[in-house]
Structure 1
């Protein structure tokens, strides 16, 4: 494995040092008998800013000493330690908040570990780019709905996720936005959780399958209706699931970026070059107004869908304060619904058909007033691009979930029932979105101009 963003499949990745413990393999021995530890979960990058980034790993089956080293791609070839060495118990998560970086710059990093009394040796490497500022170009990726944890290893949905991860990796994006339902298990949507077994399993699997990408591509996650954090659940259940999420897939909090957000890391905003990205949480702040018709339902009435007063006020303030040429909003599904049936409408389906329904009308009016060009969402597992009042409601497919909801469910007249991802290419004069299917082919493209 190298520090570059090459074409690295999950199979070849897990065949390396980093993935050995994840497969239950023994520790690797070096000549002379020294045992080199392995990681049970490889590096996961998050919270990239102009001067910092978070790197998270999980140690393997033995106690170790750990160090993270970094060097600028265009700077001296000497590695510098990011802080003091750490003593890490077996199976524990380790985080490094790397600071004093330069904006818009590429860095290599390596994680080194050793068992007591042995010399430190590399167990994982990667490369990342810090947050860009100003009128510069970049490429990013958008994924949705893998439902990782619901399907067995080797199944078609898991193969689809691996294919999409490989395709995204070839794009060499500077970050990925995962639009929710990133994890799922059989009870996570319908019932409160009183232990973290299902969540731990699902997030572990997600980290493993995202690994070829996450070692060099910072991750921005969203809350979907399968993460177990719905507002219909008791607060202690949702809080337990949020704790697992923050441990396995940390994200920005209210202090990470100037735009602020939630201390719970479930909504936030950041800019990258000329683009403002606003990431919303439609699940946790919506509560049913009465009894639920089925366990799968999150709300009683479509008007129950809500961002909550605090998040809604924050959204308006962030959009009003922005003078970015491009503004994109990301959410799992609209803050409302308007699908082909009343049950699917209540479930939040319908995308652009729901633009003027319930609280989504308020969100849509804000987007019109403040010049938002794209509303990215997931949930419906197909590719869709439809404009409402000049705003693209864009759904970048599903990267795993096999259910491709058609016209009889969503009401959509024009859509693509393929697995895949969205590729966002930004230049100062234009932002282009490509819908890329599982085979790596572009099946649709649209572009927006700066405002």
Structure 2
């Protein structure tokens, strides 16, 4: 089945700014998908279904609370070829399972055709057990080196079988950097990258709402804005919000309410409660005036090969270049940057603090592509810049550089009882802990090399190689995280079983127990 899906691959068709869904072809671009449906922004009373079709069709959605019995339906509307259309199902009941199917009719057809039946659930009540899933960077542009479509489908099938209430993508899933390098500045080309992912994500997204986290390779970033409608940040921002129905402020959601010219609402940071948990997605890329990681159109600097002597010196912690953060920055070729310029921004920070302080949820989960959006490591870099307050020389400059902020971000997570901070970017599985907060780095879902990339940046914790995803089960009393491995049949062997659990752990609710409030040092007199 998997090989058959991979053999039916994408051949993108463009018409203006629209992009048609893949049609059967040959190659390795992903499963053919002339039609896809993606769920998003579920609330206690509504859910949104994004429909994408290769051909123009009339469509409606029918739904109900009993499998196979659809007692309600939306009005019929036209879905233009290659252009996503959103159907909102409203007047739903809280904490209820619903079943639905999309009906379509192309020009010249007399009867509507039923698409795959699927399901979703409205916002859970407190006390209910549920699951959600998380994957790290998929990087489809790194074919054979960090990505394999057959393996990606394997992971998606695992997730679909688990039927989580929602699924997080931690960023670097829609890289447009090759378009930037080639000067291919067109909405249709950017749209094709987002449409391509729907062929895979639709395996999960038809019954599980998707939650996107912005990554550095998306280049959906403030520093690229130039006031025109035809720049890569705008193209990426529009594709992101057009092809995936992401949360915006209203109903159970709070978040970024500031529209951006030529895009509208970014939907890049947002939060909501579900059952006994608070979920918070944050983003530095749309809020920093400088490139947070690599600049568009340039490849990230390659780390030089380390000699045996240098490796031994680093292992002893005796590098001559200063502390670990400075050494890492220098090895990455980014040592000259002022990382205080990387920021969540005033509005997002104040919103984050308010959201975390006011929530009484037993579990609090925070998601971002990476600590500060750049660098490598987890707790190793959590003490730096606006995240931890110190510069790379170990000097605390937080209140000098962020005079209006309550405290560094890590301190805010610690003092408000955050349970787990999830990040991607580093391309491995790593579980660490700092001040009671779990720092969880998420594995790639489709790396055929099964490598723990950047493991040298992690000095503590439980480290495992790719590939797979995280299944998180939340009960009223605990949250269990399981790393579910994915292997193709040819990869399996001793210690390599598809669907096996490589690592798991259980966390209990953390009560916010803030220490004495942080305050700037008294001025010298």
TM-score by length of 2: 0.72
Where do 1:33-182 residues align within 5 Å?
Answer: 40-61=34-55, 63-73=56-66, 77-82=69-74, 84-116=75-107, 118-151=110-143, 157-182=148-173
Distance 2:458 2:221 in 1: 22
Give 1:272 deviation, angstroms: 1.0
More strand by share: 1
User: 2:316 matched to 1:287?
Assistant: no
Closer/same/farther in 2, CA of residues 250 and 148 from structure 1, 3 Å limit: farther
The alpha-carbon distance between structure 1 residues 14 and 139, as it changes in their structure 2 partners (threshold 3 A), is farther
Q: Deviations over 1:47-97 (max 9, x none)?
A: 000110000111222x322111111137x9243212x21133333322101
Equivalences, count: 414
Q: Is 1:326 aligned with 2:363?
A: yes
Evaluate the alpha carbon distance shift between residue 157 and residue 410 of structure 1 in structure 2; reply closer, same or farther with a 3 A threshold. Answer: farther
8 Å Cα contact 2:216-2:293 kept in structure 1: no
SS at match of 1:187: helix
Q: Tell me what 2:247 maps to.
A: 252
Residues 1:364 and 1:233: Cα distance change in structure 2 (over 3 Å) = same
C-alpha displacement at 1:141, in angstroms?
Answer: 0.3
Pairwise CA RMSD:
3.1
DSSP-derived class of the 1:400 partner:
coil
User: What's 1:310 paired with?
Assistant: 347
Rate the CA distance shift 1:360–1:216 in 2: closer, same or farther, 3 A: same
CA 349–156 in structure 1, closer or farther in 2 if over 3 Å, else same: closer
Q: SS of the residue aligned with 2:371?
A: coil
| Residue 374 (str. 1) matches residue 420 (str. 2) | yes
CA distance in 1, matches of 2:236, 2:76: 31
| Greater mean alpha carbon deviation, residues 224-233 or residues 104-113 | 224-233
Alignment partner, residue 197 of structure 2: 206
Deviations 1:208-261, CA, capped at 9 Å, x for gaps:
011211111110111001112133323443122100111112210122534333
1:332-411 counterparts in 2 under 5 A?
332-335=369-372, 347-361=374-388, 362-401=408-447, 404-409=452-457
What secondary structure is seen at the aligned counterpart in 2 of 1:415? Answer: strand
Q: Which residue of 1 aligns with 2:468?
A: 420
CA contact (8 A) 1:280 1:330 kept: yes
Distance 1:289 1:188, change over 3 A: closer
Structure having the higher Rg: 2
State the shift of 1:114 in Å. Answer: 1.3
Q: Which runs of 5+ in 2 are unaligned?
A: 9-19, 26-31, 258-264, 302-333, 389-407, 487-497, 512-525
Query: Following the alignment from structure 1 to structure 2, what is the Cα–Cα distance between the partners of residues 60 and 99?
Result: 27
From 194, 204, 213, the counterpart of 1:222:
213
TM-fit CA distance, 1:11: 4.9
Q: Is the 8 A contact 1:422 1:433 kept in 2?
A: yes
Mapped to 2, the partners of 1:366 and 1:187 lie a distance apart of 37
Paired residue for 2:400?
none
- In 2, the alpha carbon distance for the partners of 1:155 and 1:277 equals 28
Residue 479 of structure 2 corresponds to 431
Over 3 Å counting, the alpha-carbon distance change for 1:290 and 1:128 in structure 2 is: closer
Contact 1:189/1:225 (8 A) holds in 2: no
8 Å contact kept, 2:292–2:342: no
Alignment partners' CA distance in 1, 2:176 and 2:377:
24
Give distance in 2, aligned partners of 1:270 and 1:290.
Answer: 26
Shift, 1:195, TM fit = 2.0
Shift of 1:171: 1.6
Residues 165-219 of structure 1 deviation map (CA, whole Å, 9 limit, x = unaligned): 1111222211101111122244368798732344222212210011211111110
Deviations 1:364-411 (A, max 9, x none): 111111110110110001000000001000012111356642333555
- For residues 137-188 of structure 1, the C-alpha deviation after alignment (integer angstroms, 9 at most, x for no partner) is 1011001100134438x99522221121111122221110111112224436
Q: Give me the whole-angstrom Cα distance separating, in 1, the residues matched to 2:273 and 2:135.
A: 19
Within the candidate set 224, 228, 241, 1:233 is matched to 224
Counterpart Cα distance in 1 of 2:138 and 2:221 = 18
* Distance in 2 (alpha carbons) for counterparts of 1:392 and 1:415: 14
Task: Give the direction of change, closer, same or farther, for the CA distance of 1:53–1:210 in structure 2 (3 Å limit).
Answer: same
Q: SS in structure 2 opposite 1:348?
A: coil
